[in-house]
């Protein structure tokens, strides 16, 4: 049996609306995970290449929060999934105003009904309005296990932070129909390029959307440490959703990432909310620049500390997941593209990722093999929310060989029991 009751101020309820709007850009349903110290709302997109998470901290975000789970899963959490549309329509009311004007809603009370024997699975949201009006919404939820993408910031050598206002100005320049965003830095300049990859011929070429590059000075950033001349490509749609939400909070957005083809994380905090987005990046744009052996020392260090040279150790270290081959083929979006030959194992002496796409620009094809996030559906990550992702640079290449059995090695075999991927 689970007890989950919390109360929100009108301002917090309005922030919930904003974050639901952001989550709706990723997935149709919202996953909710309640623990003693926080409530997390997350979404994972259908191609599992982008994951958004909002952690609402107790007590900062809530005016009242009560959670207890007796005999429930024995791990002290409650998880469920609700259609975002339903939640959005509850929180959409014009009653909220972040700027503190008279709103009509005095407070918002939420509680979850999950009694043994009754099996109601209802989330009850009460909007207590002034003039003695109370609106009650009962939403049905589905009790599910939630997967979280894990990302370890500490071993991501590239990071920067910038005000959301600046990013907001950048995305305003992007053309509406662009699909991909390339982040690239060179000579103290940071390039954000939005483009579409469709190859068109003849008259259709004029239908291609604008290719927009915004070139900002490094000093526009609050902090900037990133390896130069590497292209990291993410989706414009995801980026737009993130920046639009961050701008509603006027937050400072931080980004952490390592190599192209490995996950990237955007994060920001505000008013008891920890917002984290883990996105898959695809490999080098045009692929012309191999990683220079003179890369920043931070990267070399991270590679040595986190990437054991002996592949046998890797299971113990839980490197990022290798995608089952059948799934990676489905993700090859370019029709008619040839299946790439299997990668060679990298030179065991080398710390650096070999760039086998040299001279060819194949962002789409490159996405396949490493394009998924790592999960951990297990319960042993109470201490920190996302503690165990190992962003282990070069190791993934050797791992992708012979991983046909379809189990992501982020997880211990004992935890899987064939439930998640089959």
Partner 1 sequence: MRFKADVQNINTFYKLVSALTSIGSICWVRLSLDDIRFTIIPEQGSQVWAVLSINTVFDQYTIVSQADNVINLEIPIGQLTAALKSALNAVAAELRLTKVGNQPILCLKITSLSGSSGTFGSSFNDQFDGDGQTVDLQTTGNTDRTHEINQQIPIRVLSPETVANIHEPRCPDPDVHIQLPNLKALKSISDQFTQIAIRDTVSRSGRQNRPIINFEANMHGCLRLSVVTDPQNISCLWTELSNPELDPTQVEGGEEGIANHPSTIMKQKGSADGKSLEGWASVRIDGKDLSKVLSIGKLSGRVIACVCDKHAIVLYVYLQSEEEEEDSSVLTYYIAHTAG
Which of these segments, 41-49, 246-254, 364-372, 402-410, binds partner 1 (CB under 8 A)? Answer: 246-254
Which of these segments, 88-96, 124-132, 209-217, 388-396, binds partner 1 (CB under 8 A)? Answer: 209-217
> Hey, how many other C-beta atoms are within 10 angstroms of the C-beta on 107?
16
36 vs 211 by CB, closer to partner 1: 211
Query: Of 216, 280, 303, 351, which one interacts with partner 1 (CB under 8 A)?
Result: 216
Secondary structure of residue 245 in the 3-state scheme: helix
212 vs 244 by CB, closer to partner 1: 212
Strand 2-8 to strand 64-69: parallel, antiparallel, or no bridges (unpaired)?
A: antiparallel
Least distance CB 367 / partner 1 (angstroms): 22
Total chain residues near partner 1 (CB under 8 A): 34
Least distance CB 281 / partner 1 (angstroms): 22
Q: For 121, list phi and psi in degrees, rounded to 5.
A: 50, 55
Query: Of 85, 211, 333, 412, which one interacts with partner 1 (CB under 8 A)?
Result: 211
74 vs 219 by CB, closer to partner 1: 219
DSSP conformational letter for 336? T
Least distance CB 259 / partner 1 (angstroms): 22
DSSP output for 113-168: E--TTT---EEEEEEEEGGG-EEEEEEE-B------B---GGG--EEEEEEHHHHH
Q: 17 near 117, Cβ under 8 Å? A: no
Assess 198 for contact with partner 1 (CB under 8 A): no
Least distance CB 254 / partner 1 (angstroms): 8
Q: Whose structure tokens read 């915004």?
A: 214
DSSP conformational letter for 373? P
For 34-44, b/e burial (b = at least 16 CB within 10 A) is bbeebbbbbbb
Assess 173 for contact with partner 1 (CB under 8 A): yes
19 vs 216 by CB, closer to partner 1: 216
Assess 172 for contact with partner 1 (CB under 8 A): yes
Assess 384 for contact with partner 1 (CB under 8 A): no
Assess 364 for contact with partner 1 (CB under 8 A): no
Residues 44-83: x/- map of binding to partner 1 (CB under 8 A)?
----------------------------------------
Assess 254 for contact with partner 1 (CB under 8 A): yes
214 vs 377 by CB, closer to partner 1: 214
Q: Whose structure tokens read 């993130």?
A: 242
Rounded to 10°, the helix 164-173/236-249 angle is 140
Which of these segments, 39-47, 87-95, 199-207, 338-346, binds partner 1 (CB under 8 A)? Answer: 199-207
Assess 288 for contact with partner 1 (CB under 8 A): no
| Alpha-carbon span 242 to 277, nearest angstrom | 8
Q: 365 near 337, Cβ under 8 Å? A: yes
| Alpha-carbon span 251 to 162, nearest angstrom | 9
Query: Of 74, 94, 100, 206, which one interacts with partner 1 (CB under 8 A)?
Result: 206
Report CA Rg, the chain.
23
Least distance CB 185 / partner 1 (angstroms): 13
Q: 260 near 355, Cβ under 8 Å? A: no
Query: Of 223, 329, 333, 412, which one interacts with partner 1 (CB under 8 A)?
Result: 223
Q: Is the dihedral of CA 55, 20, 420, 308 positive or negative?
A: negative
Least distance CB 393 / partner 1 (angstroms): 24
Q: Is the backbone peptide bond immediately before 96 cis, with ω within 30 degrees of 0?
A: no
Least distance CB 374 / partner 1 (angstroms): 25
Residues 149-168: x/- map of binding to partner 1 (CB under 8 A)?
------------x-xxxx--
Q: For 211, list phi and psi in degrees, rounded to 5.
A: -100, 115
Least distance CB 177 / partner 1 (angstroms): 10
Least distance CB 272 / partner 1 (angstroms): 13
Residue length of the chain = 422
Q: 156 near 259, Cβ under 8 Å? A: no
Binding site for partner 1 (CB under 8 A): 161, 163-166, 169-170, 172-173, 175-176, 203, 205-217, 219-223, 250, 252, 254, 269
């Amino acid at each position: 049996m689970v007890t989950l009751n919390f109360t929100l101020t009108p301002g917090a309820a309005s922030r919930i609306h904003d974050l639901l709007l952001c989550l709706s850009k990723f997935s149709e349903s919202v996953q909710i995970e309640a623990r003693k110290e926080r409530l997390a709302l997350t979404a994972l997109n259908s191609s599992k290449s982008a994951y958004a998470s909002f952690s609402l901290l107790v007590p900062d975000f809530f005016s009242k929060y009560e959670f207890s789970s007796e005999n429930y899963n024995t791990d002290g959490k409650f998880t469920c999934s609700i259609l975002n549309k339903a939640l959005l329509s509850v929180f959409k009311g014009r009653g909220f105003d972040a700027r503190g004007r008279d709103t009509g809603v005095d407070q918002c009370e939420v509680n979850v009904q999950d009694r043994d024997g009754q099996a109601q699975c209802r989330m009850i949201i009460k909007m207590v309005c002034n003039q003695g009006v109370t609106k009650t919404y009962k939403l049905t939820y589905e009790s599910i296990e939630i997967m979280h993408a894990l990302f370890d910031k500490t071993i991501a050598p590239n990071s920067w932070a910038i005000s959301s206002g600046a990013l907001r100005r950048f995305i305003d320049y992007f053309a509406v129909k662009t699909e991909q965003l390339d982040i690239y830095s060179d000579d103290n300049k940071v390039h954000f390029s939005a483009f579409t990859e469709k190859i068109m011929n003849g008259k259709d070429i004029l239908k291609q959307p604008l290719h927009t590059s915004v070139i900002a000075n490094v000093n526009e950033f609050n902090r900037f440490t990133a390896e130069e001349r590497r292209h990291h490509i993410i989706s414009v749609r995801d980026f737009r959703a993130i920046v639009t939400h961050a701008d509603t909070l006027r937050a400072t957005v931080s980004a952490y990432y390592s190599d192209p083809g490995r996950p990237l994380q955007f994060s920001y905090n505000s008013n008891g909310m920890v917002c984290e987005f883990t996105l898959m990046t695809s490999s080098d744009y045009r692929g012309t620049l191999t990683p220079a052996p003179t890369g920043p020392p931070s990267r070399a260090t991270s590679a040595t500390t986190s990437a054991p040279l002996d592949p046998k150790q890797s299971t113990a270290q839980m490197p990022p997941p290798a995608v089952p081959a059948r799934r990676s083929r489905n993700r090859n979006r370019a029709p008619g593209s040839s299946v790439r030959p299997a990668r060679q194992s990298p030179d065991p002496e080398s710390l650096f990722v070999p760039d086998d796409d040299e001279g060819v620009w194949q962002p789409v094809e490159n996405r396949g093999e490493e394009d998924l996030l790592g999960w951990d559906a297990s319960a042993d990550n109470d201490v920190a929310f996302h503690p165990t992702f190992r962003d282990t640079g070069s190791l993934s290449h050797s791992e992708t060989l012979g991983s046909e059995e379809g189990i992501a090695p982020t997880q211990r075999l004992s935890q899987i029991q064939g439930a998640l991927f089959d």
